[in-house]
Amino acid sequence: MSLLINGELHTDWFESESEGGEFVRKDSMFRHWITPDGSPGPSGEGGFPAEAGRYHLYVSHACPWAHRTLIFRALKGLEDLITVDVVHPHMGAEGWHFGEFPGATPDSQMGAHHLHQLYTRADPRVSGIVTVPVLWDKQRQTIVNNESSEIIRMFNSAFDGLTGNRDDYYPESLREEIEAINAPIYENVNNGVYRTGFATTQDAYETAFDRLFETLDDLEARLGRQRYLAGDRVTEADWRLFTTLVRFDPVYHGHFKCNRNRLVDFPNLWAFTRELYQWPGVAETVRLDHIKHHYYVSHDWINPTGIVPKGPEIDFQAPHGREVSR
């Protein structure tokens, strides 16, 4: 990982040592919003109106948080409005970088070698972890936002007037329920796999492990009663869970020692994952080569040999047996 403190790069640090062995994720730094008319959003300053071709998305195919934004870009038909660059899956001492790898790209906006260069371009005195995704404003040459949960909500509605796509994955009538679902999934599943895999004490590991599988058991039961997490329609809660589930057996089960069960051992969660994978435009956002290379090669304190496992063989295209309502 890489950390910027007042614009100065600090490399090869790890943040769980001072937290009793528990991994603690830090908040994102840039929190502006794109809105239909450029008015201020829930946080940050205004001046970021929805315009075709103005915004650029930096992602890693390996990262589940960045993956959310690629899915929403596809679901909402934003491919022609918002351009994308993809970092190399290996994250070294200086953090995410641009380099040659199938499916990776150079930085098309400022020719940067490392993502941290965009952070200091946006704010020369910035402090925080250098993460993906990054939503970049080509016109103002700055970062709009680097918080995935907020970027997907911008993509969900800000550009509707330009695309005519009114599909709503955060409907007002379900927002309270979606928030109630998101909270334990984020804490115990999305971030829970990291809290398990990055733990540096046995107690921290076992606490995170138990919370992870207790929540997966609850979700398995919930999906046995209803089609999707919030009822009979797909919402952002489903997509936020999906990006962790699709990585579970290839990475988290073994590499992060989340090994009580595999995803394929949960009939409802596994069928749910296959259904969402088969949703139009979604399969193309899943790059298991990037996912496996990133985790097994980048985390050398967990996997010092850097060997990337060939398996498991997973058929996400197998019939899922769940009625699809689109």
The set of residues, in sequence order, having a beta carbon less than 8 Å from that of 302 and lying 6+ positions away, is 197, 255, 256
Mean pLDDT of the chain: 94
Of 58, 63, 169, 252, which is the active-site residue? 63
Are 201 and 150 in the same domain? Answer: no
- Stated pTM of the model: 0.94
For the cut 70, the answer to whether the pLDDT of residue 24 exceeds it is: no
Q: Name the pLDDT band for 11 (thresholds 50, 70, 90).
A: confident
CA separation for the pair 60, 90 (Å, rounded): 10
185 part of a folded domain: yes
For the cut 70, the answer to whether the pLDDT of residue 27 exceeds it is: no
What CATH number is attached to the domain comprising 229?
Answer: 1.20.1050.10
3-state helix, strand, coil in the chain (%, to 5): 40, 10, 50
291 part of a folded domain: yes
323 part of a folded domain: no
Are 16 and 159 in the same domain? Answer: yes
Residue 194 annotated to the active site: yes
Burial (CB count within 10 angstroms: exposed 0-12, middle 13-18, buried 19+), residue 291: buried
Tokens of 252: 């988290």
Are 141 and 272 in the same domain? Answer: no
- pLDDT on residue 326: 37
The set of residues, in sequence order, having a beta carbon less than 8 Å from that of 258 and lying 6+ positions away, is 193, 196, 197, 209, 212, 213, 248, 252
Share of the chain above pLDDT 70, in %: 94
What is the distance of C-alpha 220 from the center of its chain? Answer: 22
Task: Name beta bridge partners: 97.
Answer: 114
In this prediction, residues 112-126 reach a mean pLDDT of 96
What CATH number is attached to the domain comprising 79?
Answer: 3.40.30.10
For the cut 60, the answer to whether the pLDDT of residue 207 exceeds it is: yes
Rounded to 10 degrees, the C-alpha dihedral 314/287/213/190 comes to -170
283 part of a folded domain: yes
Pairing of strands 55-59, 82-86: parallel
Are 58 and 10 in the same domain? Answer: yes
Q: Which of 267-272's residues contact partners 24+ apart within 8 Å by CB, and which partners?
A: 267/220, 268/220, 268/221, 268/223, 268/224, 269/216, 269/219, 269/220, 269/223, 269/245, 271/223, 271/320, 271/321, 271/322, 272/223, 272/228, 272/238, 272/245, 272/320, 272/322
Are 240 and 144 in the same domain? Answer: no
Q: Which of 128, 163, 198 is the last residue of a domain?
A: 163
Are 67 and 123 in the same domain? Answer: yes
Are 118 and 13 in the same domain? Answer: yes
20 part of a folded domain: yes
- pLDDT on residue 8: 93
Q: Report the number of distinct structural domains present in the chain.
A: 2
Q: Name the pLDDT band for 2 (thresholds 50, 70, 90).
A: confident
What SS3 state is found at 5? strand
- pLDDT on residue 12: 62
pLDDT tens-digit series, residues 153-194: 999 999 999 999 999 999 999 999 999 999 999 999 999 999
What is the amino acid identity at position 138?
A: K
Of 169, 194, 295, 296, which is the active-site residue? 194
Range of the domain at 214: 172-298
**From 33-42, 57-66, 150-159, 315-324, the region with the lowest mean pLDDT:** 315-324
Backbone angles phi, psi at 64, to 5 degrees: -65, -30
Higher local confidence (pLDDT), 140 or 2: 140
45 part of a folded domain: yes
Are 42 and 183 in the same domain? Answer: no
320 part of a folded domain: no
What is the distance of C-alpha 175 from the center of its chain? Answer: 20
CA separation for the pair 208, 197 (Å, rounded): 9
pLDDT tens-digit series, residues 212-233: 999 999 999 999 999 999 999 9
Task: Name beta bridge partners: 129.
Answer: 3
Residue 58 annotated to the active site: no
